[in-house]
Chain A
Amino acid sequence: MQRHGRTIQVVAGVTLALIATGSLVMSGCKKSSSTTSGNGDGSSRQLVVGFSQIGAESSWRTAETNSIRGEAETRGIKLQFSDAQQKQENQIKAINAFIAQKVDAIILAPVVETGWEPVLKAAKAQGIPVILVDRGVDVSDDSLYTTLIASDFVAEGRKAAEWLATKLNGSGNIVELQGTPGSAPAIDRKKGFEDGIAPFEGLKIIKSQTGEFTRAKGKEVMEAFLKSAPGQINAVYAHNDDMALGAIQAIQEAGLKPGKDIIVVSIDGVRGAFEAMVAGTLNCTVECNPLLGPAAFDAVAKVLAGETLPKWTVVDDQVFDQSVAADVIDSRKY
């Protein structure tokens, strides 16, 4: 039975591959014939790339969209943009439309991890490379996408820890505001931070709860922490800037000075964080760079040139603290 199953799989695979190459050759023919019948200059054919974005729910995402749009324009690439309004079904529809339009490549920011297999197979069957940005997908066959361009959340947490360890000279009590339980950034940023402070025996996380990535919850949780461990908290580590901004307000209302009495460090690098650093209330933010346009189109160029890419293209995230905040705030795009 198993053998049969496998034979069938192989046959199916070969057939699929044949169809794929066939359609590639055919589309290749069509393209070359259309260019010859046109102005006769094959190299000037404009690349068409489809981009399925999750939505515009945060300034971070808007910055990502603008980066990809802007980069397409600079490179003279025609971008088909689709806003999924937080729905996977819209993204699947958009990708099917891109496939029907025979775009040269697809950029996808997946709203969830699962359920992508069929539509990615359809794209692969048409020989259209798919580049994932900022979030991964859960598929059994990783040849279904070319590369994932995303930050390393664990590294972000570790960088925050390293900065804080230096600031506190390796000893102090830290409270942690976690992201939404179970979300990838919350899990990874927690782990990275714990790894980062592990070498320092004097650094201890004395309280850790979820602020659900929102400002209001960040404030509520910090209020409770301040009451439950009065006078013991030396630093706050928040999994995103919004929770840190909420915590800063809680610290102020408790009659303490955020940034001085209690050190505040967070992740993301949104505009509000830079404003808080200039005001002296936030000490440090580790950027989670949304400006993925250049990297995404580099990947498109490479894969169309026949190069193989690593499955994960790690985005380099920088650390910013108060010493540089005033200088860079005007150059920040999000």
Chain B
Amino acid sequence: MRRSLRQLIWPLVALALLLVFNAVASPSFFHVQFVNGRLSGAAIDVLNQGAPVMLLALGMTLVIGTGGIDLSVGAVMAVAGALAAKLLHLDAPVALAIVAALGVCVAAGIWNGGLVTVASIPPIVATLIFMVAGRGIAQLITDGQIITINPGSSFTVIGRGVIGGLPVPVVIALSAALVIAAIVRLTSLGVFIEAIGGNEEASRYAGINVRWIRLSVYAIMGLLAGLAGLIDTADIAAADANNSGLYLELDAILAVVIGGTALTGGRFSLLGALVGAIIIQTLSTTILMTTFRGHSVPPEFNLVIKAIVVLMVCLLQSDELRRMVLQVRRVQG
């Protein structure tokens, strides 16, 4: 427990620094008010817009914990949105559209897990297949067009609804976090995941069913990516197969890494992944809100700024670098 808290310090420091920057540069960042029964403010937007990546990062933490990776999550999001929108377009009930979309996403996860476990294809290759194929499937479902959903449909509640003042996506992401944390920490799943990520061979000899654990981890990932896709689609009341979830697999992996989970597997931190996802979204919102002498940040610089901040967060976390800096100081002293 104490160890995992220590891991969390540096991501939290980075987040705090971003928030301090906003407090100075755009004070309205922290302004929160009630508008039409919902909390409204930049801080709420960060959580709301960040919800899909939070969901992806939760699943990705488990996958990475087993020493795997899932590149297909962005494409799975697109499939979920496309399928749900298509079904709603055909006048299917909302519940059916949701269940069918999530079911297909779980199947996609099992497909990924199957390639990794049964066919022994390295995870990066196995999931790359669905990363390409999944977006293609989504484009086939939508004919490459944006399918709009009636904004009055109860489906849009997933993206735009409010529960107790909080946007529904935030409620979904936080609930998912609690459920996963409970499953992982109250059952032996968490221990098994860390064991497999630490030493697969030893885990097998210890009697852990490595295949089943792996498979279920990819299936959970599929489910969470499906949820993220439904949120994304419901939020804009339209399924955009070309852009939904595009490159979000990278944001999810980044969130996990910023949160202190090693890509090599083993010990993982769900809380860290959430903080990582929030850092990434805070950064995006910060760039959008910052005005310097009446000018916005020129959009050509967005990615460079993101890269520099992420690099600094990673450097902050590097024990090696800290040791080197300390040594230099000792020598000088």
Interface of A with B (CB < 8 Å)? 55-59, 62, 178, 181-182, 206-210, 212, 214-216, 219-221, 223-225, 227-230, 242, 245-246, 249, 253-255, 272
Contact = CB atoms under 8 A, between A and B. Distances in A.
Nearest to B139: A57
Nearest to B37: A255
Given A227-B29, A228-B288, A228-B291, A215 B300 contact: no
B49 interface: yes
Contacts of B237: 249
A87 to B, nearest CB: 13
B7 interface: no
A219 B41 contact: no
B61 interface: no
Contacts of B302: 181, 209-210
B285 A224 contact: yes
B-side interface mostly = mixed
Given A210-B302, A220-B49, A228 B146 contact: no
A258 B236 CA distance: 15
A147 to B, nearest CB: 28
Contacts of A255: 35-36, 40
B201 interface: no
23 contacts: A56-B143, A208-B296, A209-B296, A215-B238, A216-B240, A216-B243, A220-B45, A221-B288, A223-B45, A224-B285, A225-B289, A227-B28, A228-B28, A228-B290, A242-B146, A249-B160, A249-B236, A249-B237, A253-B35, A253-B38, A253-B40, A253-B160, A255-B36
Interface string B222-237: 0000000000100111
A23 B239 CA distance: 51
A246 B236 contact: yes
B207 interface: no
Given A209-B302, A230-B31, A246-B236, 17 more contacts: A58-B146, A178-B299, A182-B300, A208-B296, A208-B299, A209-B296, A215-B240, A219-B236, A224-B45, A224-B285, A224-B288, A224-B289, A227-B289, A253-B160, A254-B35, A254-B40, A272-B148
A182 B145 CA distance: 24
B213 interface: no
A241 B49 CA distance: 21
Given A227-B31, A227-B45, A254-B40, A58 B288 contact: no
B42 interface: yes
Interface string B125-156: 00000000000000000011110100000000
B232 A216 contact: yes
A236 B86 CA distance: 31
B288 A209 contact: yes
B244 interface: yes
Contacts of B41: 227
10 pairs of A and B residues whose beta carbons are closest in the complex:
A210-B299, A224-B288, A228-B289, A255-B35, A227-B42, A214-B243, A215-B236, A181-B299, A181-B300, A56-B144
Contacts of B104: none
B242 interface: yes
A209 to B, nearest CB: 5
Contacts of A59: 145-146
Contacts, number: 99
A214 B240 contact: yes
A209 B143 CA distance: 30
B164 interface: no
A56 B145 CA distance: 8
A219 B167 CA distance: 15
B216 interface: no
Nearest to A246: B236
B208 interface: no
A182 B26 CA distance: 27
B242 A57 contact: yes
Contacts of B42: 224, 227-228
A11 B291 CA distance: 60
Most A Cβ at <10 Å: residue of B28, B38, B238: B238
Nearest to B167: A253
Contact of B146 (A212, A215, A220): A215
B144 A58 contact: yes
Chain A CB within 10 Å, residue with most, of B40, B143, B299:
B299
B140 to A, nearest CB: 11
B310 interface: no
B294 interface: yes
Contacts of B299: 178, 181, 208-210
A28 to B, nearest CB: 41
Contact of A228 (B26, B232, B242, B243): B26
A253 B236 CA distance: 12
B84 to A, nearest CB: 15
B18 interface: no
A216 B296 contact: no
B297 interface: yes
A290 to B, nearest CB: 14
A58 B232 CA distance: 19
Contacts of A210: 299, 302
